[in-house]
Structure 1
């Protein structure tokens, strides 16, 4: 499975992120994890992927170039890449959305519009 992990920059519960991703990985092995490179949930997911031996790709938003549009642009880029990788590998694509703000809501909205399943683990 190809997974985009997203969530709030202030999401501090790294153990919860690890637990949620471990549970998903046991159920449906994650082959590639994409994240937005932000502190909080993204960072915890990246650490999980590295420790689990899962390939990972980080997409940083270019705030200087795109201003407030940088986050949604980055989210669209991640989603497009995940769908492309999934098609190449013959794997499903999903989003794991931890609690967050506007950026997380945008990622969920874009994913649902593209018919990509979104999981929202509950603490």
Structure 2
């Protein structure tokens, strides 16, 4: 279900760290139908960085939620994902077929009632 036209949403842009295709991200934003008021970023490489670039190029504010790996170890990513989901209304995710961190973000987004648009990008792209 896509949002009504004109509804601005705080949107997480997240995904695989090995995806660097900015055009694919722009297409995903367009396909989602989401009207973004603010980009929420996990402050990682790959899709998170592409989302920040998108925000800068479209004059959108950015909220960064870097994972505290040194403090929480492997639990840091899932903790960060839960926190981001609590601050958002939508998620745009680009991922490779096997992407555990992005799958966790999608799960958290669904549990929080966010609108979710997820797109699988074949490995190597």
**TM-score scaled to structure 2, two decimals?**
0.81
Partner of 2:82: 76
2:43 matched to 1:4?
Answer: no
- Residue matched to 1:65: 71
Q: Is the 8 A contact 1:18 1:44 kept in 2?
A: no
**What is the TM-score with the length of structure 1 in the denominator?**
0.82
The answer for the alignment partner of 1:119 in structure 2 is 117
- Aligned partner (choices 88, 92, 99) of residue 95 of structure 2: 99
Secondary structure of residue in 2 paired with 1:53: coil
Distance (whole Å) between structure 2 residues aligned to residue 122 and residue 74 of structure 1? 22
Normalized per residue, which structure has more strand?
2
Inter-partner Cα distance in structure 2 for 1:33 and 1:6 = 10
Distance 1:115 1:35 in 2: 18
Q: Is contact 1:97–1:108 with CA below 8 Å preserved after alignment? A: yes
> RMSD of the alignment, in Å?
1.6
Structure 2 unaligned spans of 5+: 1-8
Is 2:34 the partner of 1:38?
no
Deviations 1:24-71 (A, max 9, x none): 58x442111101011100100110111101111111001000000000
Aligned partner of 2:53 among 47, 51, 56: 47
Q: How many angstroms apart in 2 are the aligned matches of 1:29 and 1:97?
A: 15
Counterpart secondary structure, 2:77: helix
C-alpha deviation, 1:16, in angstroms:
0.9
